[in-house]
Amino acid sequence: MRTHEFGGNMAITTQQRKELGAFLRNRRERLTPEAAGISESYGRRRTPGLRREELAQLAGVSVTWYTWLEQARKIKVSRQVLGSLARALRLDETESSHLFRLAGEVSPSSQEPCRRDRIPAQYLDFLELQDPLPAFISNDRFDVLAWTHGFCVLFPYFESLPPSRRNSLAMMFDSRARYLFPEWDKDAMEAVALFRAQAADQLVQPEYASLVDELTRVSADFRDVWERLDLAPSSPSVRLFDHPVLGRVELGYVKLRLAAVDATLVVYQPLRDRRLLERIRGLVEERMRSQLARTPRSAGKFDREGVVEDVPRVPAGLDALQPGVVGLEVERVPRNA
């Protein structure tokens, strides 16, 4: 299939240009003049939506150029114009992302790393159900946004990190990681290669550039690996751990891309030693009992079924005011505790 230079970042196919033109026309015809802020109109409308000249005026482009765009002609379109069209058409985030991708551009919603407060509650509930398995949700910058008790058990130094360092790439270059990963050289190269492949089109963004700059400054190991320019696919893999309690264990891990949000669920699981899951469960239960023992207790308020109600409580040591990184941990405590 023939391709043509159309967007700023990549070549797109003839079919993509046709899809782009059809999408623009569809959304133009859906948008009424009133919804677009046009109070005065002229002549009889064949459709209830906007005319091409009205949309072109709102977006700040010529009618001829916009007509060619809908007709899927081979023309250049910039990110700025795509943004103007998205605003003029009142597109939501999903529609805007689709528009940019059709034009061969990176979605604007992908430029800023996903925050914890943008993760849908259903995903957080699903993550909680993964306990005692070590599991976490991270964004494309590899920031750890939410995690299970099992994750804290597997990575004992995680909770000692400041929120800004709760990042799986930065954690790999923490001095303690060398003791945790017996195959650290291989695992570190894989982590960096995966980050470069996944964030390739975001590395000019300040949030991503600052992470790379900081790790380059503080870690000669990271600098050496980063300069290799290796790439790795996001696929299931296996890692060895030298855990201070569990000893040497082998865990597989899978990554599941979350829909409607730029984030990934990562889950570690025992492969061959099925008894390992029960050992991890025991450490998780011990951790939860320890946290509960540190929580002030008082007489509970029972609901009509006689069960103490559950109240989310941020455990000691976590910063509840940190907007970007909040641990997903819920302790069962009385409502009036």
Q: Three-state DSSP class for 242?
A: strand
Question: Residue 247: inside a domain, yes or no?
Answer: yes
Domain annotation covers residue 59? yes
Q: Give the number of other CB atoms < 10 A from CB of residue 79.
A: 15
Q: Alpha-carbon distance 295 to 316, whole Å? A: 9
d(CA 166, CA 240): 21
Same domain, 139 and 63: no
- Please tell me whether residues 90 and 181 are part of one structural domain: no
The total domain count for the chain is 2
Query: Which amino acid is present at 112?
Result: E
Do 135 and 278 belong together in one domain?
A: yes
Task: Give the domain extent around 136.
Answer: 116-293
My answer on whether 180 and 231 are in the same domain is yes
Write down which residue in 63, 93, 110 finishes a domain.
110
pTM above 0.75, yes or no: no
Instruction: Read off the CATH number of the domain in which 253 is found.
Output: 3.30.450.180
Residues 6+ positions from 19 with CB-CB distance below 8 Å: 102
At 157-192, the pLDDT tens digits run 999 999 999 999 999 999 999 999 999 999 999 999
Mean pLDDT of the chain: 83
39 and 97 part of one domain: yes
- pLDDT tens digits along 38-92: 876 666 777 778 999 999 999 999 999 999 999 999 888 888 899 999 999 999 8
Domain of 83: which CATH number?
1.10.260.40
Same domain assignment for residues 213 and 284: yes
Same-domain status, 238 and 145: yes
d(CA 105, CA 201): 10
Q: Decide if 306 is inside a domain.
A: no
Residues 203 and 289 in one domain: yes
List all residues 6 or more positions away from 60 whose beta carbon is below 8 Å from its beta carbon. 84
53, part of any domain = yes
Give, in degrees to the nearest 5, the angle at Cα 264 between 317 and 275: 70
Q: pLDDT at position 328, please?
A: 40
**Is it true that the peptide bond before 132 is cis, omega within 30 degrees of 0?**
yes
| Packing angle of the helix pair 79-88, 93-102 (nearest 10 deg) | 140
Beta carbons within 10 angstroms of residue 309's beta carbon: 14
Which of 110, 127, 161 is where one domain is finished? 110
Residue 233 inside a domain? The answer is yes
Ranges under pLDDT 70 in the chain: 1-11, 40-43, 108-111, 296-337
DSSP per residue, 151-166: HHHHSTTGGGS-GGG-
SS3 assignment, position 253: strand
Last residue of a domain, one of 259, 275, 293: 293
In a domain, 231, yes or no: yes
Residue 320's pLDDT is what?
35
Whether residue 250 sits in one domain with residue 101: no
Residue 162 counted as domain residue? yes
What is the reported pLDDT for 104?
Answer: 87
> Could you tell me which of 258, 221, 266 has the C-alpha nearest to residue 239?
266
- Please list the alpha-helical segments (H only) found in the chain: 14-30, 52-59, 63-70, 79-88, 93-102, 121-128, 149-154, 168-172, 177-180, 184-198, 206-218, 220-226, 275-293
Q: Is there a single domain that holds both residue 153 and residue 30?
A: no
- List the one residue out of 306, 311, 304 whose CA is nearest residue 335: 311
Q: Could you give the C-alpha distances from 163 to 158, 172, 242, 318, in angstroms and in order? A: 10, 15, 25, 9
Residues 146 and 65 occupy one common structural domain: no
Q: Are residues 49 and 180 in the same domain?
A: no
Position 202 in a domain = yes
